[in-house]
Structure 1
Amino acid sequence: MVFFCFLVDQRRTMRSTKPVAGMCSRCGGGARVADMETATRVCYVPVHRRAWRAIVCTFCGAVLKSYQHLGRRR
């Protein structure tokens, strides 16, 4: 018996945030620097996890800029 599972799930979570000077270019809301984590799962089994840092709008939630976080993982 052969069973193929193609269920792929990707979740993005915000670990911590800090206020930053500046405004969102899309809606004019405030911006924050956030430590983000993306977890990719196939059939509910974690396959890949990546930590990164992004500048996020507090009003509309848009990711304004993202860059690789080289600090330690928590």
Structure 2
Amino acid sequence: MVCFCFLVDQKSVVRRSKPVAGTCSRCRHGALVADMQTATRFCYIPFYWKSWKAIVCSFCGSILKSYNT
């Protein structure tokens, strides 16, 4: 009998950000335009990266809108 066990996780990181005019629709705090990077890892070894832009709340951290780059 063969048993396969895979450990895959995904981590999103904000690379850089700057303030943008507007507020969060959930908590009414300020928003940021952020360059995001998502890394997918298999057994703690990253094998796929994706970069994208997002409008993120500076207080609660929710992603309000995302853009592909």
What is the TM-score when the length of structure 2 is the normalising length? 0.91
Code of the aligned partner of 2:29? G
Cα distance, 1:5 vs. partner?
3.2
Cα distance, 1:46 vs. partner?
1.4
Aligned equivalent of 2:36:
36
- Greater Cα offset, 4-13 or 46-55: 4-13
Cα distance, 1:65 vs. partner?
0.2
Code of the aligned partner of 1:31? A
Structure holding more strand per residue: 2
Aligned equivalent of 2:18:
18
Cα distance, 1:3 vs. partner?
6.2
The DSSP-based 3-state class of the residue aligned with 1:4 is coil
Structure 2: which 5+ runs fail to align?
Answer: none
Code of the aligned partner of 1:39? A
Structure 1: which 5+ runs fail to align?
Answer: 70-74
Identity rate of aligned residues, in percent? 63
Q: How many residues align?
A: 68
Structure 1 segments (4+ residues) deviating >3 Å: none
Q: Within 1, Cα distance between the matches of 2:56 and 2:48?
A: 23
The question of whether the paired residues in 2 share the 8 Å contact of 1:5 and 1:43 is answered with: no
What is the TM-score when the length of structure 1 is the normalising length? 0.85
Aligned equivalent of 1:4:
4
